[in-house]
């Protein structure tokens, strides 16, 4: 039996294979450890915490699994936690229009 995690993601969730990059239509600044991201076409402003901003920075054509591996090394968290956080943030950033899917 496969058990869903708290975000509703399974360990073999397809999102982990997703490759993402930053949308070219945005502006971002890291300020005092927090990220401020503006998605131009929606004229929306968002703040990201340190992990969220790092996920955003790492999204340069990497897969979610690759981003999670980087988080594991940088934040001293377990592989499972890093994968869960990476998947969670990538999903949110895709919905905000801050990232785009470049899997194909």
Nearer to another protein, 10 or 31 (CB): 31
Describe the strand order of the beta sheet including 60-63 as a list of residue ranges.
60-63, 19-22, 99-101
Q: How far apart are CA 102 and CA 54, in angstroms?
A: 19
In the complex, which residues of this chain contact another protein (CB under 8 A)? 24-27, 29, 31-32, 34, 36, 38, 40, 43, 45, 47
CB of 56 to another protein, least distance (A): 14
61, two tokens: 């054509």
Q: Which residue's CB is nearer to another protein, number 17 or number 29?
A: 29
- Integer Cα distance of 65 and 50 in angstroms: 19
Smallest distance, Å, CB 34 to another protein? Answer: 4
């Amino acid at each position: 039996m496969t058990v869903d995690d708290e975000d509703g993601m399974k360990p073999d969730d397809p999102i982990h294979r997703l490759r993402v990059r930053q949308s070219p239509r945005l502006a971002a600044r890291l300020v005092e450890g927090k990220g401020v991201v503006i998605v131009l076409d929606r004229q929306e402003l968002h703040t990201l915490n340190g992990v969220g901003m790092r996920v955003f920075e790492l999204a340069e054509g990497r897969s979610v699994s690759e981003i999670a591996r980087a988080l594991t090394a940088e934040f001293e968290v377990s592989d499972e936690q890093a994968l869960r956080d990476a998947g969670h943030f990538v999903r949110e950033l895709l919905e905000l229009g801050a990232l785009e899917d470049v899997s194909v």
